[in-house]
Structure 1
Amino acid sequence: MLAFVDAKLAYEIDVVAAADAQASGSAVIIDSRKRQSWDHGHIAGALHLPAASLAALPQTLPRDRCLVVYGWGPGCNGATYTARRLLTEGFDVRELIGGYEYWVRNGFAIVTAGTTSRPGPDPLVTAEPHR
């Protein structure tokens, strides 16, 4: 059981650590959701790579940085499919715990209809606003 927990900690990343990694340039965030979901709103600075379009990976994906993959939230496994595909190609990948839902709930920057905003943090998720 300890090996499972260690592996989970090595593979998953929470939204605070992902935001820090994105800000430092050590990670690129990948949205695995459908176009309609992306258009509804996505993490600022994320790349769109829908799970359904994984047959041919873009040649522009960076191999020198961690790829943090996300879906809608805890009930979505599209990010897991995308992460699996990227891992088979040798990329360094982490899956974002809580996905887009928890990114928004923590008050990090999102893009909706071409406008970047920072929703107020949900007090059930965080006691302090982030950046």
Structure 2
Amino acid sequence: MPTAVTAIAPAESAAARAHFAASFTFETDCWDVHASLAEGPDFVLLDVRSPALFAKGHVPGAISLPHGKIVASKMAAWEADTVFVVYCAGPHCNGAARAALRLADLGRPVKLMAGGITGWLDEGFALVSED
């Protein structure tokens, strides 16, 4: 009798490879963002939470731009090929996905930082605050 895990067979290797390889084009992780920030980033990091939450604590180097404020006029400040990495509170929050969708709708290259603030803190990285 199969368990809940094996009742649906895993994908064929080729399909699994395509799926997991494609996921890296949509997401990055906190560790890679941290390392890239130290190297001199080739992307813009957007904290898409509220300004109040940004002020309480955010990833160093991030810019506050709530997902609802991502519009063409604001994005005109950056070159069209600028890569954006977006994050929100964490896996329980869909703000980063909303921001990524808005950026994609504007034709902007975007990745989501998996884990958000929760993931950042889980990795042992520090936040900075405006206080």
TM, length-normalised to structure 1: 0.75
Given that residues 18 and 27 in structure 1 are in contact (C-alpha distance below 8 angstroms), is that contact kept between their aligned partners in structure 2? no
Query: Partner of 2:89 in structure 1?
Result: 72
Query: Partner of 1:113 in structure 2?
Result: 130
Find the aligned partners of 1:56 and 1:66 in 2 and give their Cα distance: 15
Given that residues 11 and 94 in structure 1 are in contact (C-alpha distance below 8 angstroms), is that contact kept between their aligned partners in structure 2? yes
* 1:16 is aligned to 2:31: yes
The structure richer in strand per residue is 1
In structure 2, which of residues 114, 119, 125 is the aligned counterpart of residue 102 of structure 1?
Answer: 119
Give the match's secondary structure for 2:107: coil
TM, length-normalised to structure 2: 0.75
In structure 2, which of residues 76, 93, 105 is the aligned counterpart of residue 88 of structure 1?
Answer: 105
Amino acid at match of 1:20: A
The structure richer in helix per residue is 2
Q: Percent identity?
A: 32
Aligned-pair CA distance for 1:31: 0.4
Aligned-pair CA distance for 1:90: 2.0
Cα gap change, 1:66 to 1:80, in 2 (>3 Å): same
Find the aligned partners of 2:34 and 2:79 in 1 and give their Cα distance: 18
Larger Rg: 2
- The number of residue pairs the alignment matches comes to 114
Given that residues 22 and 29 in structure 1 are in contact (C-alpha distance below 8 angstroms), is that contact kept between their aligned partners in structure 2? no
In structure 1, which of residues 43, 48, 51 is the aligned counterpart of residue 67 of structure 2?
Answer: 51
What is the CA deviation profile of residues 69-105 of structure 1, one whole-angstrom value per residue up to 9, with x for unaligned ones? Answer: 0000011110001011111222221100100111122
Higher RCO by CA contacts (8 Å cutoff, separation 6 or greater): 2
Task: List structure 1 runs of 4+ shifted beyond 4 angstroms.
Answer: none
Give the match's secondary structure for 2:128: strand
* Structure 2 gaps, min length 5: 1-14
* Structure 1 gaps, min length 5: 115-131
Cα gap change, 1:19 to 1:64, in 2 (>3 Å): farther
